[in-house]
Structure 1
Amino acid sequence: MGREFMNIFDEWAESYNDAVQGRNLEYQDVFKDYESILNSVASKASGLTVEFGVGTGNLFEQLIDHHLDVIGIEPNEKMRAIAKARFPKERIWDGDFLIFPELGQVDSITSSYAFHHLTDDEKFEAFQIYYDLLSDQGQIIFADTIFEDDLSYQQTIQDAEQKGYLKLAADLKREYYTTIPKMKSIAEKAGFNVSFQKLNDFVWLMNAKKQ
């Protein structure tokens, strides 16, 4: 459920904000138009909103700036401490995409750069949980690295290796990146209508609404 990547999250805690601001060459394309990507998520959210994978709090900040009532869920202690230091009065709790404190009914479920830490089976389990968690007009708004098909996924790994971006290539091989057709099938089987919008060469905005 993503917690097997805790050591990676520990490493990212200190360097994540540098990466998203373009200071890590390997990840510049991954985080291209980062602020716009976060705004794309926040601008679609409404009502009581939960963010899974708060990380260091960048999307969380935009959700607050959009005047949303927001609850944050973050499994990594180091990242959660950074976010709580930024927002000491806000609710930022220990939990992950599948196991989290009681929330009651929510209107929007959001995340950025995190859902790929779940296997496809876990993604389906998560969507089943979220269907019951969401209000009747509720929606899921995720910005995450997804690929158009398996060939595109493999080509991206090869391109990273050819550029000498070995850490990026290792991330792409190790984590559970999926494809648009697979993610569409997962969402629809769980009872959602889903759409995708490409935001950069790596990241797509996924908007899933209850049928």
Structure 2
Amino acid sequence: MGKEFIELFEDWADSYDESVTGHDLEYKAVFEHYDLILSIVANRSFGHVIEFGPGTGNLTEKLLNKGLQVTAFEPSRSMRKKAIEKLGDRAQIKEGDFQSFETEEDIQTIVSTYAFHHLTDEEKAEAIDAYGKLLQPGGKIVFADTMYESVEAYKRAIEKAKKQNFNNLAEDLEREYYTTIPVLKKMMEDNNFSVHFEQVNDFVWIMEGIKR
């Protein structure tokens, strides 16, 4: 995951759960249907799951409650601490990120929520290439993240945030590496995944890919 955002994660750890539950008006639309988004990702997961960017462990908890084996990789020390406090000895949360992780296990599902946009498009392509080599046919990638149908739609989202005086949101949209569905679709198909996308709120889409 983009190392340039580590300080942001560290600063956000204490207030993250408050933000995702809709208490921050500026980000309320980003986290609309948050629990549903996590449930969709968890319900489409199976087997041994790798989770990237677990943050404070909200998706991790849902995966564990389904009886799944989860290995989570989180680059932020503060986020890891919050997740471990929440989940106790149920948690297997290691230092790592989308591109820096080690596993010798047989993996069936790779999941992430609200995190893949911290990679550039080049880094996203490299990561998906690695996951394509890790997963066997039938294995899954299930990511929920902010993405856009086109570059024009992305630009409109930035302008809308500015008009609403959501300056922090606008700054985030301009600073981080949000991409488009056609770009992600090509990355997935180039690595032998069947993939489909579905929108859950004005910002977040579910990307579900199955290894052919």
**Do they superpose with TM above 0.5?**
yes
What number of residue pairs does the alignment pair up? 211
Asked if the contact 1:104–1:133 (Cα under 8 Å) also holds between the matched residues in 2, the reply is: no
Asked if the contact 2:137–2:210 (Cα under 8 Å) also holds between the matched residues in 1, the reply is: no
Query: Residue type matched to 2:144 in 1?
Result: A
Distance 1:35 1:66 in 2: 15
Share of identical aligned residues, percent? 45
Report the CA distance between 1:103 and its aligned residue: 3.8
Coordinate RMSD, CA, aligned: 0.9
2:178 corresponds to which residue? 177
For structure 2, list consecutive stretches of 5 or more residues without a partner in the other structure. Answer: none
Answering whether residue 22 of structure 2 is matched by residue 19 of structure 1, we say no
2:84 corresponds to which residue? 84
Answering whether residue 203 of structure 2 is matched by residue 193 of structure 1, we say no
Query: Residue type matched to 2:81 in 1?
Result: A
- Which deviations, in whole Å up to 9, do the C-alpha atoms of 1:120-140 show, x marking residues without a partner? 111111011111211321000
Moved more, 98-107 or 110-119: 98-107
Report the CA distance between 1:104 and its aligned residue: 2.4
Query: Residue type matched to 1:192 in 2?
Result: F
Report the CA distance between 1:45 and its aligned residue: 0.1
Answering whether residue 20 of structure 2 is matched by residue 37 of structure 1, we say no
Q: Scaled by the length of structure 1, what TM-score is found?
A: 0.97
Moved more, 51-60 or 185-194: 185-194
Distance 1:2 1:191 in 2: 25
Report the CA distance between 1:2 and its aligned residue: 1.2
Report the CA distance between 1:76 and its aligned residue: 0.5
Q: Scaled by the length of structure 2, what TM-score is found?
A: 0.97
Partner of 2:188, secondary structure, is helix
2:118 corresponds to which residue? 117
Report the CA distance between 1:102 and its aligned residue: 2.2
1:160 corresponds to which residue? 161
Answering whether residue 2 of structure 2 is matched by residue 2 of structure 1, we say yes
Distance 1:99 1:27 in 2: 29
Answering whether residue 52 of structure 2 is matched by residue 55 of structure 1, we say no
Report the CA distance between 1:158 and its aligned residue: 0.4
Report the CA distance between 1:86 and its aligned residue: 1.5
